[in-house]
Each structure stands twice: as C-alpha cells, then as structure tokens.
Amino acid sequence: LEEPKPVVAFVTGGAWIIG
C-alpha cells in the first residue's frame, strides 16, 4: 500500500481510509 485512495482502500480493506 503506497497511497491508500478511497477506491484502492476499499479493495485492500476499506478500514484504511474509511476507518
């Protein structure tokens, strides 16, 4: 994970940005 984007974070595990 380099730059957790709203969409990428959702695929890698939304909790990155959304939580």
- pLDDT of res. 1: 57
pLDDT of residue 13: 63
Supply the pLDDT for residue 11: 66
Specify the pLDDT at position 9: 62
Given this model, what pLDDT does residue 18 score?
54
Q: Which residue has the tokens 């990428």?
A: 8
Kindly report, residue by residue over 1-19, the tens digit of the pLDDT.
Answer: 566 666 766 666 655 555 5
**pTM score over 0.75:** no
Q: 5 phi and psi, to 5 degrees?
A: -95, 160
Helix (H) or strand (E) holding 13: helix 8-13
Query: Which tokens belong to 2?
Result: 């380099």
